Amino acid sequence: MGGSAVIPLVSVNAGEPVRVVDIIAGHGLASRLEALGIRPGTNIIKRSEMFMRGPVTVEAHGTQIAIGYGMASKILVERIRNLPAKSPNGNKDA
Amino acid sequence: MRILLIGNPNVGKSAVFSRLTGTQVIISNYSGTTVEFTKGSTVLRTGETREVIDVPGTYSLEPTCKAEEVAVSMLESMLDEGDIIVNVVDATHLERNLYLTLQLLERDIPVVVALNLWDEARHKGISIDVDRLENILGVPVVPTSALTGEGIDILMDRISGIMEDSDPEPRGGLDTASQFSIEEYRSARRFINERWSEIGRIIAEVQTISHRHHTFIDRLEDASIQPVTGLIIAILVMYLAFKAVGFIGEGLITYVFDPVFEGVVRPVVTKLGVVLGSEGFLHDLLIGHLVNGEVDFEASMGLLTTGLYVPIAMVLPYVFAFYVALSILEDVGYLPRLAVLVDNLMHALGMHGYAIIPMVLGFGCNVPAALATRILESRREKFICATMLSIGIPCMAQTAMVVGLIGRYGWQYLAIIYGTLFILWLMIGIVLNTILPGSSPPLLMEIPPYRLPHPKVLGKKVWMRIRVFLADAIPYVLLGVLFVNLLHVSGIIDSLSRVFAPFLTGFLGLPSEAIVALLMGFLRKDVAVGMLSPLGLSIRQLVVAVIVLSAYFPCAATFVVLLRELGPFDMLKSTLIMLVVAFGAGGLTNLVMSKAVPVGYVIVGLIALVAIILLVARAVRITRTRKFEG
C-alpha cells in the first residue's frame, strides 16, 4: 500500500497491523517503550482500547503490552496491509 | 563468588531460583512478584556452596522506571569480582529479552543464559537453534522449563563449569563494543539502534516460527481486555472467586474445624478446667471465663480456648480459601488484565491500573500488599495506595471474624460495613489525588499470556502462604489473649475505660469496655474483632466498632512494613488521615444507625464535603499557576 498516512496509535482500529514510525516523546518514555520492544520500525497490532480514553493494548513481538492513552497518542504509526513473511511470532492472520 | 539471577520481568527467575536453591519463593504469572532481593544457596557439582540471588526483573540496565531503577542500582552495588550472572530469558519472547542479554554481555562478567519457558515456546511453534545462539553469544545457553524442572541439571553443570574455572573467560565471541569506533560509541542513540539491529540479525539466524492458529486461549485473552466483554469477565471472575472463598471457607469450618474443636478440644479443656478448680488466675488465663457454665470458644478468652479457636477454626479456613482463589488468578495471569480494565478508575484515585494488584493482595493480608506498593512508580502513588489500603481493605483474617460475628445478624449488616469501607476507600483516593501535588503516572506494562496453573506449583504457593499465616498469626493471637488477660487482672483496663468512656460512649455509642478491642487492633485485627464478642454489643455497636477497627490503624505487622516503605513523615501523615477518617466514619455510622440523622443527610453532606475539597484544591491550583505565570 503506497502513500500510507501517519496516524497516532489511538486512531487505529483494533486488529489492524501497523508499523511504528515515530514516538514523539521525551527520552524517558521512548526508552521505556523501547525496552518493551516498541521502537520506530516495529510492527505492532492493536488488540483493544478501553472506553473513555482507557489504555490501549498492542501486541509487539508476540507480547501484549498495555499503554496508557496519553502515551499511546504519542506513538505515530502507519498502516501496513501485508505483513512481511518473517512476521513476529504470535501475529494473527489479519 | 555468587550467582545472580537477572532477566526481564515475568520470565521465571524466581522459578529458576526455587529450582536451584530448593528454597520456596512466591512465583506468579505477572511482572513484579519479586520486589526484593531473595537470597538462597546452592551446592555446585564440585560440592562447594554458593549464594544465589534472585534479582527483581528489569528490561534494561539503563533503568526506565522507578522499579527498574531500584533493581539496577541494587544490582550495581552488589556485583562483585567473581560473581556470575544467570541471565534468565523468556524463550517465547527471545527478541525483546536479548536486549538485556546484550547489555550484560557488554560487561566483564561471566554469563550463562537460561532459555526458560522452553516448553511453552515449543508449544507455541517457536524453535530456537540453541547451538547457533550459543556460538553467536559466546556464552553457554541452556534451554530450561523451571516449572517442570527440565534443563535445570544441565544449567547447574554449566554454572559449575564456569565457577570451577579460576580465571573464567569474561566474554565470548560477541563483542558489540569493538565493532564500532569510539566516536560511534559516544552516540548513545546510535549504540542502542545497533543493539537492536544486532538482535534482529541474531533472531533471523536462530529463530523460526511455524504458523499458529487462533486458539481458544487467544480469544479469551482478547475478550478479557475488550471494554464490554472484559467487564463481564471481570464481574464473573470476581463473583466466582467470592463464591468459592465463601464455599470453601464455610465448608471447612462446618465439616472439619468445628467438629474437631467440639469433639476433641472441648472435652479436653473442660476436664482441664475442672482440674484447675474452675476459677482463679491460671484457669482464666488458659481456659478463660465460662459462659453459662461452659467454655465458649469465641468469647471465653483463654489461651487454650479462644486463643486457638480464633486463628485455627475461624480464620484459617477462610485464609486458605482466599489463597487458593488468589493463587489461581495470579498463575492464570488474570490480574494484569484487571489492571487494564480499572486503569481509568484508578487514575481518578491518583494511581494507574497496576495499583489494583496491591489492593487485591490486601484482601488476603495487608503485609504483602504493603510490600507490593513497590511496583508503583512515585512516592505520591505509594502514599495514596498505602493509605487507601490501610483504611479500606480489611484482611482475610479480619473478614473471617467479621463474617463469623456479624453474618448471623444478616447479610445487610455485612453490606453496610463493606459498603462503608468501599466509600471511604474511594473518597480517600479522590481527595488525596486532588490535594496532593503531581499527577498519576501513565500505565505501561506487559500483559502475560494466560497460562494453566501448575497444580504442584500452585499447591506449594498456597502452602507457603498458609505457613506464613500460621507462623505469624498464632503467636500474635496468643500474645494478644495473654495481654488482655494481664490488662484485666492488673486493672489497667478499668482506668483506660474510664478515660476513654466519654469518647467511646458519647461519640461512637460503644460501651467503654470496647477500648480493649481498640487496643488489640493495633496488634491484630482478627483478635480485636473477636474481643467484641463477649461485650454483648448490639448490632449497631458491632457495625460501628468493626468499621472503626478496620480503618483506624494498620495492624502491627503492616505498620512496620509501611513505615519502612513510606518513611516516618509520610507514615505519620497517613496515620493521621486513618484516625480522622475511621473515627469520623464510626461516629457518622452510629448517628445514622441509631436513627439520629437520616442517611440521606449524611450522603448529601459527604458529597458536599468532597465537592468543596475538590473546588478549593482546584482554586488553589489555579492561583498557583497564575502566580507562576505572572
- Residues of chain B falling short of pLDDT 70: 67, 165-191, 211-213, 627-630
H or E element at residue B93? none
pLDDT (tens digit per residue) in B537-569: 999 999 999 999 999 999 999 999 999 999 999
Q: How confident is the model at residue A66 (pLDDT cuts 50, 70, 90)?
A: very high
What's the count of helices (H) and strands (E) in chain A, helices before strands? 2, 6
| Nearest partner of B400 among B265, B556, B246, judged by Cα | B246
- Among B99, B126, B336, beta carbon nearest to A89: B126
Q: What angle do CA B626, B630, B432 make, to 5 degrees?
A: 25
**Contacts A53 to B, Cβ<8 Å:** 344
**Most B CBs within 10 Å, among A49, A61, A64, to test the B interface:** A64
Listing DSSP states for B8-43 in one string gives STTSSHHHHHHHHH-------SSTTS--S-EEEEEE
The SS3 of residue B315 is helix
**Most A CBs within 10 Å, among B60, B62, B217, B444, to test the A interface:** B444
Q: Would you say B23 and B438 are in contact if contact means Cβ atoms under 8 Å apart?
A: no
Distance, CA of B411 to CA of B396 (rounded, Å) = 17
Cell of B195: 543493539
The SS3 of residue A14 is coil
Q: What is the pLDDT of residue B170?
A: 47
Q: What is the pLDDT of residue B415?
A: 96
What's the count of helices (H) and strands (E) in chain B, helices before strands? 30, 9
Cα radius of gyration (chain B)? 28
Query: CB neighbours (10 Å) of residue B607?
Result: 11
Q: What is the pLDDT of residue A30?
A: 85
pLDDT (tens digit per residue) in B313-350: 999 999 999 999 999 999 999 999 999 999 999 999 99
**Contacts A90 to B, Cβ<8 Å:** 124, 212
Residues in B lying within 8 Å of A, measured between beta carbons? 59-60, 62, 64-65, 92-93, 95-96, 99, 124-126, 192, 196, 204, 209, 212, 214, 218, 221-222, 225-227, 230, 336, 339-341, 343-344, 352-353, 442-447, 449
| Nearest partner of B309 among B546, B555, B556, B530, judged by Cα | B530
Q: What is the pLDDT of residue B440?
A: 87
Q: What is the pLDDT of residue A78?
A: 93
Q: What is the pLDDT of residue B629?
A: 59
Q: What is the pLDDT of residue B190?
A: 62
Q: What is the pLDDT of residue B238?
A: 94
Q: What is the pLDDT of residue B178?
A: 41
**Most A CBs within 10 Å, among B120, B344, B381, to test the A interface:** B344
pLDDT over 80 (residue A90): no
Listing DSSP states for B127-151 in one string gives EE-HHHHHHHH-S-EEE-BTTTTBT
CATH topology assigned to domain B2-209: Rossmann fold (3.40.50)
Could you tell me the pTM of the whole model?
A: 0.88
* B541 CB-near residues (< 8 Å, 6+ apart): B509, B510, B511, B514
| Nearest partner of B147 among B6, B37, B326, B10, judged by Cα | B10
Strand order in the sheet with A63-67: A6-8, A75-79, A17-23, A43-49, A56-60, A63-67, B444-447
Nearest chain B Cα distance for residue A13, angstroms: 13
Q: What is the pLDDT of residue B165?
A: 67
Contact B343 A47 (CB under 8 A): no
**Contacts B187 to A, Cβ<8 Å:** none
Q: What are the structural domains of chain A?
A: 6-79 (2.30.30.90)
- Among B59, B204, B214, beta carbon nearest to A35: B59
Q: Where are the domains of chain B?
A: 2-209, 227-597, 598-630
Residue that is written with C-alpha cell 492464570 in the block: B332
- Between residues A17 and B377, the one the model is more confident about: A17
Q: What is the pLDDT of residue B411?
A: 92
